[in-house]
Amino acid sequence: MKRGNTKEKILKEGRALIQQHGYNGFSFQDIADILKIKKPSLYDHFASKEKLVIAILQNYGNMFDEWSQSVHSLSPIEKIRKVFDVFYAFTSDKRKVCPVLALTTDTHVLSREIQKSMRQFVEKWLLWLEQQIVEGQEIGEIRKDFDPKALSTFIYSQGMGSQFQARIKNDASLTLDSGDMIVTLIRTHSVSNKKSI
C-alpha cells in the first residue's frame, strides 16, 4: 500500500468510525484491523489520535468546499435543500451522522485543538448558509422577515437534530422531511397573508 494511498484510507476509515461511534468509540487498532495493516504504521502518518481527528476535520472541510462548488449553479433555496441530502446520505449509511455532530458527545475529553477545529468547521457551514439566505432574500426567493445569521443557525441546528432523530428512529428519511419543512418555512410564498378585519 502506497504511503499517500494509506493516509487517505486512514482518514476515510477514521471518519467513518467517528460518524458511527464518536471519539471514544474507536482506536488506532480498529483502523489497523480494518485496513489490515500493523498499528505502528498508522503513526507514520499521524502522531496521535488527536492529530488524526484534526486531519479528519480538515479533510471534511475540504469535502465541504468541493460539495459547495458542486451545487454552485443552483438557486439559494435549492442549495439549502441540498444540505439535507448530505445529512440523508450520512444517516442512510449505517446510521452515521456528521463527524462534528458525532464528536460533540465526547466534548469533555476532546483537546482544545480538536474543539477549535470543530468550531471552525461549523462557522464555515454557518457562513455559507448565511450567504445563501442573503442572496435568496435579495432575489425575493427567501422571506425577508428572518435575520440571515439567526436563520442560518436555525437551519444548521435543524439539520443536526434531524440526524439524531433519524438515528434514534432508524429512519433516514426524517432528514429529508426536515429539509422539506425548512424550505416551506423560508420560501417567500409561505408568508401568510393577513386579512384585514
pLDDT tens by residue, 106-163: 999 999 999 999 999 999 999 999 999 999 999 999 999 999 999 999 999 999 999 9
The reply to whether 119 falls in a domain is yes
Helix, strand, coil: what percent of the chain each, to 5?
Answer: 75, 0, 25
> How wide is the angle at C-alpha 99 spanned by C-alphas 121 and 164, nearest 5°?
115
Total domain count for the chain? 1
Give the chain's largest Cα–Cα span: 76
* pLDDT exceeds 50 at position 193: no
The reply to whether 5 falls in a domain is no
93 contacts: CB under 8 Å, gap ≥ 6: none
For range 1-21, the mean pLDDT:
88
Query: 150-176: per-residue pLDDT in tens?
Result: 999 999 999 999 999 999 999 999 999
For 11, what's the count of Cα atoms within 13 Å in the CB-facing half-sphere? 18
The reply to whether 8 falls in a domain is no
At 39, is the pLDDT very low, low, confident or very high (cuts 50, 70, 90)?
very high
* pLDDT exceeds 60 at position 194: no
The reply to whether 81 falls in a domain is yes
The reply to whether 116 falls in a domain is yes
Residue 88 is placed in which grid cell?
440523508
**Cell 442512510 belongs to which residue?**
92
Domain CATH number, residue 68: 1.10.357.10
The reply to whether 108 falls in a domain is yes
- The percent of residues in the chain predicted with pLDDT above 70, rounded, is 94
The reply to whether 196 falls in a domain is no
Provide the residue range defining the domain that includes 75.
Answer: 49-190
Q: Which residues pair with 142 in a beta bridge?
A: 187
* pLDDT exceeds 70 at position 195: no
Long-range contacts from 117-121, C-beta under 8 angstroms, 24+ separation: 117/53, 117/54, 117/57, 117/58, 118/57, 120/57, 120/61, 121/57, 121/60, 121/61, 121/64
The reply to whether 124 falls in a domain is yes
Q: pLDDT averaged over the chain?
A: 93
The predicted model scores a pTM of 0.89
Q: Which residue would you say has higher pLDDT here, 105 or 184?
A: 184
DSSP state of 107: G
Phi and psi at 96, nearest 5°, equal -75, 165
**Alpha-carbon span 100 to 79, nearest angstrom:** 21
